[in-house]
């Protein structure tokens, strides 16, 4: 099904649950997230769990609606000038940050000067916006983005995490560290309290420029185990679970108080190879291991059909996905022959690193290990705390032979994924340095021509597949467990909630 149809179907689910309560409904919506990002500064993060909160506290110049369309945010309109070398944004008047300071052209300039400067170097977002040379204030409600070079994904990225507009005076007075723990934005909800690894409390911004939210309070709880999220949902202590064990879906559906929605999503999963370690230095070995694993069977038996096979590290919703590119076939006999030819001895040991709290992927990793055992490879599973894996083990090149690679594809464009994964010395590419791949990545970024970009992105995907940099696994459905007392949730495929219209009974 197409994404619009899926979202429409999800909307119908809620339309049939109960009639919408009145516009003055109040109360608290309780939401479970699988991870605490640990910092609420927009330039400090890349995590989907941040996005699930960030759009409540902050606004960008542009917003992306649940049906994937770009719409005016803090900018009411924009135009390309000087042969597309400049983009002029006209700002919404009379918008204030939660602390009362004005959100104007100076705030926009401060936001991007900060992100593109020394402060931005500390986080993972800066490379997404390096096409911007500078931001020039034209007048209090007009700014120009002067471009170094074309950036065909910039407008989409301006609706993303790092480009949320932040308050200059507040940050200058309090400092970035304080701001990261006590965020202030222009969004529909205001920060109240943050208990690291426990919860985040927000309250309604009655003066929100887009109209005050219907609920008074929004409470996030950080619950890493999907089974615990499901248990809390069943007990009525949360209204939205963003991860539940797939084996519990049918049980939850049978509960008259609950509902489950599964829709096509942007999250791709793969097992990335450490190409500098042991047998993984051999491309044919990497291809053999990929062919040794029956990904279709894993999707059917472990994921219960809530995923789709992939040939590259992106789902079908991604711009640049090539439907003509097919995954390597499951062929254990050929895999064994290739391993033997490469001189890999039976019983050779490897390590697979994965996110420890992710019980769904733990089952996937166990299945992969079983398939590898059948071709003579002994795989040991190494669970990690999510933040340790993402902030230390992977970026510092300390992984085993394989590791769980998971990406939300927040731009729904292969550019963002491919550049972050494969460009030399990027955070998620601690091992590979490929001049040809670097050149292709630059080529598709250096044009506004979307048809030319698509051709190059297809070439990138084919090249990565030929080099076998990863074992593509699947594109995972976005699945929510819900309490039916929560209405009008407008559930997004990318996990980036906006609960402005949500109500609770």
* Predicted confidence (pLDDT) per residue in 405-446, tens digit: 999 877 889 998 999 999 999 989 999 999 999 999 999 988
Mean pLDDT score, 387-399: 95
The rounded distance, in Å, linking the Cα atoms of 244 and 225 is 8
**Buried b / exposed e across 291-305, counting CB within 10 Å, b at 16+?**
bbbbbeebbeebbee
Pairing of strands 199-204, 217-222: antiparallel
* Predicted confidence (pLDDT) per residue in 228-253, tens digit: 999 999 999 999 999 999 889 999 99
Confidence (pTM): 0.78
Percent with pLDDT over 90 in the chain: 82
pLDDT at site 13: 38
**Joined tokens for residue 504:** 């609770």
Task: Kindly give, in sequence order, each residue whose CB lies less than 8 Å from that of residue 15, ignoring residues fewer than 6 positions away.
Answer: none
Which 8-state DSSP code applies to residue 496? -
Q: How far does CA 211 lie from the centroid of its chain?
A: 27
State the pLDDT confidence band at 157, using cuts at 50, 70 and 90. very high
Backbone angles phi, psi at 259, to 5 degrees: -145, 155
Beta bridge partners of 63: 71
- For the chain, give me the number of helices (H) and strands (E)? 17, 21
pLDDT at site 132: 97
Closest alpha carbon to 390 in 65, 34, 101 = 34
**Joined tokens for residue 333:** 């006999």
pLDDT at site 47: 84
**Joined tokens for residue 251:** 């049980």
The rounded distance, in Å, linking the Cα atoms of 154 and 133 is 13
State the pLDDT confidence band at 18, using cuts at 50, 70 and 90. very low
Closest alpha carbon to 221 in 235, 248, 234, 240 = 240
């Amino acid at each position: 099904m197409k994404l619009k149809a899926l979202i429409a179907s999800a909307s119908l689910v809620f339309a049939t649950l109960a009639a919408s309560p009145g516009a003055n409904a109040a109360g608290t919506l309780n939401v479970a997230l699988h991870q605490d990002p640990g910092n609420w500064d927009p330039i400090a993060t890349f995590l989907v769990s941040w996005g699930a909160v960030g759009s409540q506290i902050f606004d960008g110049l542009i917003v992306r609606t649940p049906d994937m369309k770009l719409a005016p945010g803090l900018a009411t309109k924009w135009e390309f000038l000087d042969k597309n070398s400049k983009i002029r944004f006209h700002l919404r008047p009379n918008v204030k940050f939660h602390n009362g300071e004005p959100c104007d052209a100076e705030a926009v300039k401060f936001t991007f000067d900060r992100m593109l400067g020394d402060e931005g170097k500390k986080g993972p977002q800066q490379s997404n916006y390096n096409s911007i040379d500078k931001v020039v204030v034209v007048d209090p409600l007009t700014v120009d983005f002067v471009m170094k070079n074309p950036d065909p994904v910039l407008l989409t990225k301006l609706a993303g995490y790092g480009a949320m507009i932040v308050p200059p005076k507040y940050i200058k007075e309090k400092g970035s560290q304080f701001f990261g723990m006590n965020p202030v934005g222009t969004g529909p909800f205001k920060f109240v309290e943050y208990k690291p690894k426990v919860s985040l409390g927000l309250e309604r911004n009655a003066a929100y420029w887009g109209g005050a939210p219907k609920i008074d309070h929004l409470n996030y709880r950080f619950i890493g185990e999907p089974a615990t999220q499901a248990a809390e949902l069943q007990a009525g202590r949360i209204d939205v679970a963003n991860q539940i064990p797939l084996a519990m879906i049918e049980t939850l559906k049978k509960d008259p108080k609950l509902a489950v929605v599964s829709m096509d999503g942007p999250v791709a999963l793969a097992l990335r190879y450490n190409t500098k370690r042991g047998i993984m230095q051999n491309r044919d070995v990497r291809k053999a291991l990929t062919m040794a694993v029956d990904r279709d069977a894993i999707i059917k038996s472990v994921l219960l059909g809530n995923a789709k096979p992939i040939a590259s590290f992106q789902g079908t919703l991604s711009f640049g996905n090539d439907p003509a590119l097919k995954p390597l076939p499951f062929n254990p006999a050929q895999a064994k022959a290739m391993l033997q030819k490469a001189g890999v001895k039976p019983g050779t040991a490897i390590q697979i690193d994965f996110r420890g709290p992710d019980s769904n992927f733990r089952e996937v990793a166990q299945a992969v290990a079983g398939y590898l055992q059948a071709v003579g490879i002994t795989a040991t599973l190494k669970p990690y705390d999510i933040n340790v894996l993402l902030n230390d083990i992977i970026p510092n090149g300390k992984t085993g032979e394989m590791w769980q690679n998971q990406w939300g594809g927040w731009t729904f464009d292969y550019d963002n994924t491919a550049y972050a994964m494969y460009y030399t010395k990027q955070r998620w590419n601690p091992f590979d340095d490929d001049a040809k791949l670097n050149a292709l990545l630059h080529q598709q970024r250096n044009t506004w021509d979307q048809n030319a970009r698509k051709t190059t992105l297809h070439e990138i995907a084919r090249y990565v597949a030929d080099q076998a940099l990863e074992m593509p696994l699947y594109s995972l459905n976005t699945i929510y467990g819900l309490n039916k007392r929560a209405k009008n949730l407008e559930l997004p495929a990318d996990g980036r909630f906006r609960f402005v219209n949500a109500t609770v009974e």
